[in-house]
Amino acid sequence: MNTPTPDPSVPPPAPAPTRGEASWVREPVDTTIEANWLFWLRRERFRSRATGKTHDFYVMHLADAVNVIALTPDDQVVFVRQFRAGSGRDSLEPPGGLLDRDEDPCTAGARELLEETGYAGDPPEFLGAAYSNPSIMTSKISVVLVRNARLVAPPEPDDHEEVSVELVPARDIPRLIREGAIDHALSIMGLLWWLYGEAPGGASLSGGA
C-alpha cells in the first residue's frame, strides 16, 4: 500500500465543489481534531440554505484510493487476504491502496497490484469512481481493470502488511459475495461494477455457471 505522509501543520484541501448547488454551505469555521500520516479529522460548520441553521459535522479528510480487478488469461481474479483492524478479522479483497495527491488511479492501481501481489498485465482500464462514505469522509475510491495479469515478480508489501495472494475463478465471485466470504463493501462495489460490464466464464450478478 502506498502511504502518503501529509504534514499535519498544513490544512487539508477543501472538498471538491459539488455538482449543482448543495443544500448546505460550508462556513469558515473549522477545528482540526487529529492529524496524522493517514487522515485529518476536522469539525466543520455548515449552514442550511433552507433554514439558515448551522450544524457542526465531523469530517475525515482521507486520501483517495483505488481497487484493482486483475484478471488472468484463464479467467481468475487476483485477490489478497489481509487483516482488517475494524472488523478484527482477515478480509478477502482485490488489491489496492491510497493515491498520492492528484495521482492517476490507473498509475496507482498498476503500482499497488505489483507491490501487493507481484502481478502485472495490460494497461489498467478505468471503470469508475465513487465516494467511499460521503457522510463522514472526503475520499473517493476508483476501480480499475487489469487484463492478462501474470505473476512477474515477488510481492513487496509494506513492512506492516501481511498479505497472502489468492486466485479466485471469476465464476465463483457472485457466490462468494452472497455467502459473505467477500464482505468488504468497497470491494463488493468494485467487483459488481466489473461484473455488470462483463462476465468472463459465464458469471453474472445473479450467479455463475
**What pLDDT, on the 0 to 100 scale, is given for residue 204?**
44
The model's pLDDT over 91-136, given as tens digits with 9 standing for 90+, comes to: 999 999 999 989 999 999 999 999 999 999 999 999 999 999 999 9
Arithmetic mean of pLDDT over the chain = 88
Full-model pTM: 0.84
* Percentage of residues in the chain having pLDDT higher than 90: 75
pLDDT for 6 beyond 90? no
How far apart, in whole angstroms, are the C-alpha atoms of residue 125 and residue 204? 20
Least-confidence region, from 26-30, 90-94, 138-142 = 26-30
Residue scoring higher pLDDT (61 or 15) = 61
Between the CA of residue 63 and those of 60, 100, 140, what are the distances in Å? Answer: 10, 7, 8
Provide the residue ranges of all domains of the chain, joining segments of one domain with +: 24-62, 65-200
118 burial level (CB within 10 Å; 0-12, 13-18, 19+): middle
CATH code for the domain defined by 65-200? 3.90.79.10
The model's pLDDT over 64-91, given as tens digits with 9 standing for 90+, comes to: 999 999 999 999 999 999 999 999 999 9
